[in-house]
Structure 1
Amino acid sequence: MKMLQIVGVHGIRQGKSATTDALSRSWQIPVDEGLADAGHAEAAGPVRLTVPSYQGVYPRTATRYMRLGPDTAGQDRDAPVGEEEEEFILQALAAYAPSALAEEDDSPLAGETLGPGESRLTPRILRRARAVDRVAGKGVTDRLLWLVREAHGYLLQEETGAAVRAEIRAALTATDARMVIAHSLGSVVFYDMLSRGEVAAGADGSPAVTSLITCGSPLSWLAVRKGVHTAGAPLAVPAGVVWTNLYAPYDPVNKFRGLSHLAAGVTDAKVDNGKLNAHDVRRYLDKPAVAERIAKARAL
């Protein structure tokens, strides 16, 4: 039986050791285990995951909230957030928890008193982050800021976005994969590629990729979507692409819910990733919903 090729699109916090080979192996194991546990291994046949690493083309941001890309000798690790990025972060946090705006402390000294590790953030960000924590739960923004800063780099730095998409296109071309699994910010990247028409077309003119699985997606955030989507319109993928979205109730990145309330044609699958590290990609990949979708992709 011919190998079923799947391309994975990874999310944030990939260190310099996260090469394509290392990422591919780390995704392959839970997928294989999930297929076996769900009884779909025989129907799926041989499956190969290729997860291209884009950490080599992603610029390094010198804060504790993002450690990506190659090391740069002498780079200031404590560089503060710039004005443009500050505004992006503020909008993203507001979109994540709109009700937090009413909780924000607007007194003159609010945000001026810094806690451990907060010296790289601005008072405005600190005020909003603390308000979001009051609404969404203590420590939520510590996890979200990794995502928000990397989303800024992808969405608002065109050269960075183009380089990331080029890595994914190269993997799709090399493998001839018809299925993509995208995790976290990876779902934004691949949705962007589909929206831009950057996914190669099949013989009938529709995208060559016919099956898409997104996991722990932040696409529901308006501040993230605005870079890849028209406000007021439903999220949608091209005709011929079967879209399944996995979400975990304790995953803060997907805002504890799916995408079907915002997207046309998506099938949401609620999964149990536990309460700790619910956003971990490996906790999504071994789920029966992924195994079932892979088995069905083989049958197409």
Structure 2
Amino acid sequence: MSKVVLCHGIGYTFAHRENMHGDWFRELRTGLVDTGLPPVEAADVAAVYYGNCYRSVGKKGGPGSDEFSELPGYGPADLDDDLELELLEALAENTGEGRPGSKGAVQGLFRRLVESELLGDAPAKAVVWMIKQVHRYLTDDALRDAVLARWDGVVTGDTRVVVAHSLGSVIAYDALCAHPEWEVDTLVTLGSPLGLGAISSRLRPPLVRGEAARWPNVRRWVNVAAVEDPVALVKELAPLFGKEVEDHLVRNGRFGAHSVRRYLTTAEAARGIADGLAGR
């Protein structure tokens, strides 16, 4: 049974569990080997795949030659919900430019974020789509329940480590808090947005200012954030979730700032995973 369980973030709507498992496993194993740590075998790794929970009812087929070709023609005007605007502001804050003082400057915020390429070379409509995926998970209870149900049977008594990237770290936190009977040793979060108030205030259970956050039923929590990563805007989670969180800063490079592949090959992530497998 699987000793390591992986949970992806946004952008996997048209992917498949096998593709995700293969891509992540190669980078995870590379990170362990390059750091001089014992590698894991493919049979010891499982994936929580929830991307197709975001598919429209009755939609058939996969994406075209361009992975973004089937997205609606989103633009900044489609970001009209308070939560979506709050997320846009938080992401744009990390572009290094002056921050507008009101939500009325949506066009300016959006332009700064897209032109900064901090989220890679994704087209503008994909940036809106990414924000809307986070919004839907946090506000659509039916979707959220469907996503969390994907954990059923993946985490077993043999699971020692959960590795979660981006929105996946939010989902992993919700899942671990909901299952105190699981015996997971270590949670490794990569490029996590859990420090953003727009997200932490909508967790299950929510983080309430002035109150202690719930610990996600693990012995150890290792959080890795890249200096350049705009999604992991709050680099240290210990002030919010408890001093036991082990925060590590890394550099992924500007154009791979949020890349899960770059995170998985860092020594900090590799050591967290290896130590969790060894129970250290």
Q: TM-score, normalised by structure 1?
A: 0.73
Tell me by how many angstroms 1:50 deviates: 1.4
Gaps of 5+ in 2: 64-69
Alpha-carbon RMSD across the aligned residues, in angstroms, is: 3.4
Matched, 1:53 2:49: yes
Aligned to 2:82: 87
Aligned to 2:271: 292
Matched, 1:23 2:20: yes
Aligned to 1:260: 238
CA distance in 2, matches of 1:39, 1:164: 35
Change (3 A) 1:298 1:157: same
CA distance in 2, matches of 1:161, 1:82: 25
Gaps of 5+ in 1: 62-67, 107-123, 202-206
| Contact 1:27 1:49 survives alignment (8 Å) | no
Aligned to 2:31: 34
| Contact 1:11 1:184 survives alignment (8 Å) | yes
CA distance in 2, matches of 1:76, 1:290: 32
Tell me by how many angstroms 1:273 deviates: 1.1
Aligned to 2:207: 230
> Which stretch of structure 1 is more off in the superposition, 157-166 or 3-12?
3-12
* Equivalent residue letter for 1:280: S
| Contact 1:181 1:213 survives alignment (8 Å) | yes
Aligned to 1:152: 135
CA distance in 2, matches of 1:278, 1:51: 23
Change (3 A) 1:126 1:60: farther
| Contact 2:188 2:269 survives alignment (8 Å) | yes
Matched, 1:129 2:110: yes
* Equivalent residue letter for 2:173: Y
Matched, 1:14 2:5: no
| Contact 1:56 1:70 survives alignment (8 Å) | no
Tell me by how many angstroms 1:247 deviates: 0.6
| Contact 1:55 1:70 survives alignment (8 Å) | no
Aligned to 1:273: 252
CA distance in 1, matches of 2:186, 2:60: 29
Tell me by how many angstroms 1:80 deviates: 7.8
| Contact 1:23 1:52 survives alignment (8 Å) | no
CA distance in 2, matches of 1:40, 1:255: 30
Aligned to 1:217: 192
| Contact 1:85 1:152 survives alignment (8 Å) | no
Deviations 1:76-129 (A, max 9, x none): 934789999622211223445497342x485xxxxxxxxxxxxxxxxx642543
Taking only the aligned residue pairs, the percentage that are identical comes to 28
| Paired residues, number | 258
Tell me by how many angstroms 1:214 deviates: 0.1
* Equivalent residue letter for 2:110: A
Change (3 A) 1:292 1:76: closer
* Equivalent residue letter for 2:34: D
Tell me by how many angstroms 1:241 deviates: 2.7
| Contact 1:210 1:240 survives alignment (8 Å) | yes
- Give the secondary-structure state (helix, strand or coil) at the position aligned to 2:72: coil
CA distance in 2, matches of 1:251, 1:127: 20
Deviations 1:12-50 (A, max 9, x none): 11142x211111110111111111111111xx6646321
The structure number with the bigger radius of gyration is 1
The 5-angstrom pairing of residues 182-197 of structure 1 reads 182-195=164-177, 197=178
| Contact 1:34 1:291 survives alignment (8 Å) | yes
| Contact 2:2 2:46 survives alignment (8 Å) | no
| Contact 2:201 2:208 survives alignment (8 Å) | yes
- Give the secondary-structure state (helix, strand or coil) at the position aligned to 1:243: strand
CA distance in 1, matches of 2:52, 2:30: 29
Change (3 A) 1:80 1:32: closer
- Give the secondary-structure state (helix, strand or coil) at the position aligned to 2:53: coil
Matched, 1:162 2:139: no
Matched, 1:172 2:155: yes
